[in-house]
Amino acid sequence: MISTSRNLLHGTALDGLRVLYVLNSAGGGATQGIYEHVRSGHTNGIVPFAVIPPSRANHDRLTHVFAGVRSLPLPWWDRDIDAGFLRKAAVTYGRLRRKETLSVSRRKLRELCREWGIDAIHSGTAVTLSGALVAHELGIPHIWHVKECIGRTGRVQFPLTDGPLVSLFEGLSHRVVVMSKFIGRPFFQHGCNNVEVIPDGVDGEIFQPTGSRHMRDALQIGDGVTLAGMVASLTSNWKRHDVFIEVAAEVCRRRRDVHFLLVGPQPKGKRWPHDRPSHYYARIRALAESRIPADRLHFQDFTDDAADLMRSLDVLVHTCDVEPFGRIAIESMACGIPVVGPSTGGIAETVVSGSTGLLVDPHSPAEYASAIERIADDDTYRRQLADQAVRHVRDHFTIEQYASRIEAVYRSAGKSSRGRIETRTHQDVGA
């Protein structure tokens, strides 16, 4: 059954605008901001759909909040600068054998857009090219939401120099959205005309400063003990878990009233060439066992209730010096937990040193240790940081603020392509 396209710009709402979110996974930091936005209900009439790479992990949680979810091949087009030649060749061969190619991805994504009657595509990552190309082919607006630090000085690099790379993003997008100024550096440097900084927001109904003892009780950590935690994927060596362990070791040498928590899922063992995450995790565990008493550093898998875990901490420690944005910092501050982090990267844009936490030299474990001890030694100061952190998030990083700015991007995209959108027809799938 074919139905005429709705007026997608009726009144103040984007009534019935069908947005397809192209995600790099069902979980992870790049997906979390989009997931939280859709789950919160602050979508003002948008009908959200999602496509993810083939995976069983976390798939179910998306189906509960999106109108439709489909797994399709979404090959990454960035260069794996850490892999050797043989590993790269093996990974490429595996993708070809599984037909995870750009041409297959584009064909299936075009078919899905027609099946669902998609009006706009929102690529939630820089590393997938399919969404941008298909939006261009179908003549519908494309928003490229860049959540990685890209370019020659970034962690994520592509087979293009920065000037042509920025031109490609600009030309294939109605708007390039970056989460932080740190991410946006190559776009600003090369004169991108449609780039906008929109930081993630947190849901104030979930992340509240209500306190919790669940994690402390589970670890048998009593009163008078400071719990400092790092929450970051244990498969990512760029997060610098080794620095966190060195910081913990330095504090543990001087005192016994501070415990440390490393939160992240233990990677499953995989065969070569996909075994790097498990090897990295094994190195981190071995380093921790050699540097810190077993009862002072605790490893904890991710939990379904991230807010409850955050509220069990006294201080969040984030040692990654090239963090693109660091959503974990605003979640922590929303829960009233001050942050000790690096004076570089996206963390330095969300944490106000001396007000909502402390920023230190990212290459100095001693400065990290001193900052943790300063908070541990002065409960009045810790509460002051906590109160100011909560206010800071409410003023700058709420889900409502994020939703309002993303909605403005969609509205602008709809107006710029209004003739095409309103005269298109699409299949009614009942969503």
* CATH code where residue 138 lies: 3.40.50.2000
> Helices marked H in 255-303 — which ranges?
276-291
Is there a domain that residue 429 lies in? Answer: no
364/415 same-domain check: no
Rounded CA-CA distance 150/178 in Å is 11
Q: What is the pTM of this model?
A: 0.91
385/404 same-domain check: no
Rounded CA-CA distance 367/387 in Å is 23
Is there a domain that residue 368 lies in? Answer: yes
**Which residue would you say has higher pLDDT here, 9 or 326?**
326
Q: What is the pLDDT of residues 103-136, one digit of tens each?
A: 999 999 999 999 999 999 999 999 999 999 999 9
409/344 same-domain check: no
Q: What pLDDT was estimated at residue 377?
A: 97
403/347 same-domain check: no
Region 362-367 average pLDDT: 97
174/244 same-domain check: no
With helix as H, strand as E and coil as C, how does 78-124 read? Answer: CECCCCCHHHHHHHHHHHHHCCCCHHHHHHHHHHHHHHHCCCEEEEC
319/270 same-domain check: yes
Domain range enclosing 309: 214-396
Q: Please state, rounded to an integer, the average pLDDT across all residues of the chain.
A: 90
Terminal C-alpha separation, the chain: 14
Rounded CA-CA distance 396/198 in Å is 11
**Count: domains in the chain:** 2
132/66 same-domain check: yes
Rounded CA-CA distance 119/429 in Å is 14
Phi, psi torsion values for 42, nearest 5 degrees: -85, 55
Q: What is the pLDDT of residues 203-236, one digit of tens each?
A: 999 999 998 989 999 999 988 999 999 999 998 8
| DSSP codes of every residue in 205-268 | TTS-S----HHHHHHT--TT-EEEEEE--TT-GGG-HHHHHHHHHHHHHH-SSEEEEEE-PPPP
Q: What is the pLDDT of residues 373-417, one digit of tens each?
A: 999 999 999 999 999 999 999 999 999 999 999 999 999 987 765
Q: Report whether 109 contacts 423 (CB < 8 A).
A: no
178/221 same-domain check: no
Phi, psi torsion values for 417, nearest 5 degrees: -120, 25
Is there a domain that residue 431 lies in? Answer: no
260/279 same-domain check: yes
Is there a domain that residue 11 lies in? Answer: yes
58/193 same-domain check: yes
Q: Find, among 139, 218, 6, 158, the residue nearest to 413 by Cα.
A: 139
Q: What pLDDT was estimated at residue 13?
A: 58
266/370 same-domain check: yes
